[in-house]
Structure 1
Amino acid sequence: MHDGHILYLAVADGRGHLMRAHLLRTLLGSRGIDVSLVTPSREGQAFLAALGSPSRLISAHFRLELGDRHVLDVRRTRARLLRYLLPDRCGRDLRLLETWARDADLVVNDSLHPALLAATLERRMRVVHVTGENIWNTTLAQLEADSNGPLRRAMSAALRGAMTRAFGRIFHTLGTECVSDRTWWLRPLVATPSRSREQVREALGVGSRPLAAVYLNPHYSAPEIAETLERALAARGVALYGVSEAFGGRQGWRARDARLAEVVHAADLFISGAGMAALEQSRAFGVPLLSLLGTQPEQLSNVAEVSQGGDRPPCVPVRVDAPGFVRELERGLDELRASPKRSDHKDELPRIQESWVRAFESLIHTARQESHHDSAFRRTGHRNGEPAGYGLGGR
């Protein structure tokens, strides 16, 4: 008998959603809560399997359209979304999810997958939306940019309605943590290193050389990106430890690494996109970040937010889609090499992980209370106390 069961849908456009799902499956599992993972991508399923987490598949019909330099094609993404909403696509996925969720206390949508947004509007399942604060804000801003477009207005209203009607919401944020009305704002979830810096560096055989940990999701696949990094780091005497599904066959790279956080912790420099998990690893481990950017709006917002200062290592953004990419990358490397590592905050990670676990434990407890009330209503026609509304709490 489990202390709870969660059906967890993680999109696979990057890999941060999948890593968060894997970490939560591990953390919640240690508390007796069973987490069943679902993803819309065979590549995402292989990524989870390499981490040790099995998963089920729904269709791959919906995804973001991203180029080989992390450039988001908004028009093609929107067209793909509209095709996905046809009954034979979204409807089929929704029926599968409903079947798998029959004994689940909660169904998690990480992040903004349209099938579970539709389910939320119809209140067909107890859906909890997990998403980045900046993903949410930039998605709304894109939809509302053309206020004269009736389709965009309808999509914006539907998105807001789905978030408001959700059973719960968890936003990972670079700002202040708080909770209000089944809504949590929490620091991004990252893994805690189990080895010391010295142990990792010894295992890698880098000696006293500076070490760069590089993680690039599959949408950084232009060969020039890897070639430029390899050449620039070698010219500066910096050892490269690269993780990339696109470049896994190159020297110094591997496709996946379940213990990458330990290498970031041991590194002198971190090179990655500007997802919230990467920014949190930079802060928690005190490692300067060279952030490779395309046009994905929330990553641009993430970098703008951390650039406002605070107690964190420097972050230098470099646009990989710009004509001056090589020159800017070399300039960024030189700037960050002159920046010493800051004191780290890894001692905060267990508290952050506990906050995520307690949020889900609270939602499961509330779900079971409501199930008890619903059962009592079916037996007697009277409720023993009405459940709280699903309204979106303020911030």
Structure 2
Amino acid sequence: MSPRILYLATADARGHLMRAQLLVHALRDAGASVEVLTTSVQGQQFLLRFGIQAQVLSVHYAVQFDDGQNMLRAATNRTVAHYLFRPGRMLRDIGRLQRRLRAADLVINDSFHPALLHMGMLPGWRRKVVHVYGASLKAALISNFAGVGPRLFGRLFGWIVHRQLHLARACIEHDFACEIDDAAAPALHRLPTPVALAEATPAQATGGAAVYLNPHFSDPGLADALSAGLADAGLAAHRVGEGYAGRDGWIAVDPDWANHAAHAQLIVSAPGMAALSIALVYQRPILLVLSDQPEQASNAARAAQLKLLHQVVVWNGDAGRFQREVAQAAARLCAAATPDPAAADGRRRAQTRIDAWVSRLLALGRR
């Protein structure tokens, strides 16, 4: 009997949703029945562009950012506290989830939604919950609260998160560069971040720069300076960003962006797991737009350790300086990159990643 899966993907940025749509399609192709939930109307609309119909659980849990994707810690902490302790929020979501859990064989929490963290440690529910999260996101989550209040509070919070994760059915911790580990302990699997399958040969020439900025980027000065810097480097740009929808040369969502990126001369994005995975799998150089976002700062550091072909630029409000830095970094990356490799090789690597995820999730759903 095919498993019945409930997949909750938080809508912060879009990495969780991109991963969700890849895996939901693959799981359905493998025969599973999958229902999808998310945490914002915008996230629901994003998933619909990829052919996934989702329901909104509630809109009260979210990480807060400014228009340059810098994390607003105090605002985030307030939002989380209100979600946890106001009766009409997390408790209400738990009630909604409880009804759905009765009909599910497996519930996927991608990533760290508090309602499922809580439910995943309680008898009766925990045997169905699997937590999916990036290794760098887990570290960022714990370190964020370690600096709030007395040191004992930070330690207690870290202990609670650790206990919540490991009392659940299983955890799948992913990283853009880790290997598939079949020898992992049954309760903790480590997998490489899944990647979309690009066309082996594009239907039309792509080249240039494939730009993706998540919706937390909405500062118009950043968009204009980035576009000008790429033009100065002689690169045409395919620019995608919900925060710049309607702006000249930008589109909000492109379901085919990963295909553009796999065949581009250069990828431009914040250092999220998805973009770094595409750069690694399809062997493309990547220009990282780094902000005060702890998870992504950790990802950028790991890219440097792995000697992934990349450059880092930081937006500080100085448009002229940012434009020059983008132009110089883009030119260096394009000069250092090898000619476009056969995307068929990257496609095989991407398929291997997706197959590993589907195999693990189906096995967990059938136990």
Q: Same fold (TM over 0.5)?
A: yes
Do 1:200 and 1:266's aligned partners in 2 also have CA atoms closer than 8 Å?
no
Aligned to 1:379: none
CA distance, structure 1, for counterparts of residue 210 and residue 238 of structure 2: 5
- 1:250-301 per-residue CA deviation (whole Å, 9 max, x = no partner) reads 2322111111111011110000011111001001111110011111111111
CA distance, structure 2, for counterparts of residue 276 and residue 217 of structure 1: 12
CA distance, structure 1, for counterparts of residue 366 and residue 197 of structure 2: 27
Aligned to 1:316: 311
Counterpart residue identity of residue 166, structure 1: A
- 1:339-381 per-residue CA deviation (whole Å, 9 max, x = no partner) reads 2236465121111111001110111122xxxxxxxxxxxxxxx
For the residue of structure 2 that corresponds to 1:307, the secondary structure is helix
Do 1:268 and 1:341's aligned partners in 2 also have CA atoms closer than 8 Å?
no
Counterpart residue identity of residue 268, structure 2: I
- 1:211-240 per-residue CA deviation (whole Å, 9 max, x = no partner) reads 100011001110012101221222333111
Q: Which residue, 284, 289, 294 being the options, matches 2:291? A: 294
Aligned to 1:282: 279
Q: Which residue, 151, 175, 180 being the options, matches 2:178? A: 175
Q: Which residue, 163, 186, 191 being the options, matches 2:196? A: 191
For the residue of structure 2 that corresponds to 1:242, the secondary structure is strand
CA distance, structure 1, for counterparts of residue 148 and residue 254 of structure 2: 42
Q: Which residue, 297, 305, 317 being the options, matches 2:302? A: 305
Aligned to 1:219: 216
Taking only aligned residues, the RMSD between alpha carbons, in angstroms, comes to 1.8
Mind listing any 5+ residue stretches in structure 1 that lack a counterpart?
Answer: 205-209, 367-395
Shift in CA distance, 124/65, structure 1 to aligned 2, threshold 3 Å: farther
CA distance, structure 2, for counterparts of residue 293 and residue 156 of structure 1: 26
Counterpart residue identity of residue 335, structure 2: A
Query: What does 1:349-364 correspond to in 2, within 5 Å?
Result: 349-364=350-365
Counterpart residue identity of residue 311, structure 2: V
Aligned to 1:103: 103
* Post-superposition offset of 1:147: 8.4
CA distance, structure 1, for counterparts of residue 332 and residue 313 of structure 2: 12
CA distance, structure 2, for counterparts of residue 123 and residue 242 of structure 1: 47
Aligned to 1:381: none
Aligned to 1:200: 204
CA distance, structure 2, for counterparts of residue 322 and residue 175 of structure 1: 35
Counterpart residue identity of residue 169, structure 1: C
Counterpart residue identity of residue 39, structure 1: T
| 1:39 and 2:34 matched | no
**Alignment TM-score, normalising by the size of structure 2:** 0.92
Do 2:230 and 2:326's aligned partners in 1 also have CA atoms closer than 8 Å?
no
Mind listing any 5+ residue stretches in structure 2 that lack a counterpart?
Answer: none
CA distance, structure 2, for counterparts of residue 61 and residue 159 of structure 1: 20
* Post-superposition offset of 1:135: 0.8
Do 1:200 and 1:263's aligned partners in 2 also have CA atoms closer than 8 Å?
no
Do 1:9 and 1:38's aligned partners in 2 also have CA atoms closer than 8 Å?
yes
For the residue of structure 2 that corresponds to 1:8, the secondary structure is strand
- 1:103-152 per-residue CA deviation (whole Å, 9 max, x = no partner) reads 10111110001111111232452210000011112222333356834443
Do 2:90 and 2:115's aligned partners in 1 also have CA atoms closer than 8 Å?
yes
For the residue of structure 2 that corresponds to 1:68, the secondary structure is coil
| 1:3 and 2:6 matched | no
For the residue of structure 1 that corresponds to 2:171, the secondary structure is strand
Aligned to 1:326: 323
Shift in CA distance, 155/124, structure 1 to aligned 2, threshold 3 Å: farther
Do 1:39 and 1:45's aligned partners in 2 also have CA atoms closer than 8 Å?
yes
Query: What does 1:230-245 correspond to in 2, within 5 Å?
Result: 230-245=227-242
Q: How many residues align?
A: 355
Counterpart residue identity of residue 365, structure 2: I
- 1:181-216 per-residue CA deviation (whole Å, 9 max, x = no partner) reads 23211111011113513x231xx6xxxxx5100011
Aligned to 1:157: 159
Aligned to 2:143: 141
* Post-superposition offset of 1:94: 1.0
Do 2:10 and 2:38's aligned partners in 1 also have CA atoms closer than 8 Å?
yes
